[in-house]
Structure 1
Amino acid sequence: MKKILLILVLVVFSCKSAQTLPDPLEAGWEGEKVCEVLSEMKAQRILKCTFPPNVGHQKHYHKPHFGYTLAGSTFQITDLKGTRNVPVATGVNWSKTEISEHEVLNIGDSTAVFLIIEPK
């Protein structure tokens, strides 16, 4: 019984991290918003997130989503895998099927713009 209770407590605390972080719209950088709602409907929300050079996105979580790069740059990304520099090209898309969390910083010399489409 004690073993089952311990496992349950560990599962709850491991899931708690994303729940206590802001979502992409709530998260900003140095008190300023970086994402805006382009469309919100019953089934989905579409965000446009803009990152000039030296602007990032505080640690936040994403629900499963689809993303598209309108304008690329180079980012420093910190997530559960560590910190790395990643060039992100214009026109790149990605999707996540599970909850994820990260913090990013535009270390490039151009403004990056992303669309994030989240099913509700």
Structure 2
Amino acid sequence: MKQLPLLFFFILLLVQILSCTQKNNLADPLQAGWKGKKVCTILEENNKIRTLKCVFPPGIGHEKHFHASHFGYTLSGGKFRITDAKGTREVDVPTGYNYYKEKIEWHKAINIGDSTAVFLIVEPK
């Protein structure tokens, strides 16, 4: 009989773990790519940060993904079609643009401009 409460505890724990994974089964920006190809590479990773460089030539996008807290900087701007929970919009992202977001639940984007856009994404750990 003592094993029953322990078994019940492990079943509840398993259910909790599975529900957490199902809530966010999206790729992060490094894992997400475009049509099976990577668009981001790791420039630096240590126990404090991960820095990604993401390159989007014209017609290349970033499939649906999420972001944890991060700082972003545009090395080379471009025009994007972005889709998220708010809808779809076209955005001109200028060179030198920077921002900080606590998180992005999900979004996807495609470079609809005629120049290659390059972004740095710095994620604190």
TM-score normalised by the shorter chain: which range applies?
0.7 to 0.9
Tell me, which stretches of 5 or more residues in structure 2 are unaligned? 1-18
Deviation of 1:100 (Å) = 2.9
1:36-79 residue CA offsets vs partner (Å, 9 max, x unmatched):
00000101100000000000000000001000000000000000
How large is the Cα RMSD of the aligned pairs? 1.5
Picking from 1, 21, 24, the partner of 2:26 is: 21
Tell me whether 1:83 sits opposite 2:88 in the alignment.
yes
Using the size of structure 2 for normalisation, the TM-score is 0.81
Aligned to 2:6: none
Deviation of 1:99 (Å) = 4.0
Moved over 4 A (4+): none
Tell me whether 1:104 sits opposite 2:109 in the alignment.
yes
Tell me whether 1:46 sits opposite 2:81 in the alignment.
no
Deviation of 1:16 (Å) = 4.5
Using the size of structure 1 for normalisation, the TM-score is 0.85
Aligned to 1:5: none
Tell me, which stretches of 5 or more residues in structure 1 are unaligned? 1-11
Matched AA of 2:54: C
Cα distance in 1 for residues equivalent to 2:76 and 2:70: 18
- Count of residue pairs the alignment pairs up: 107
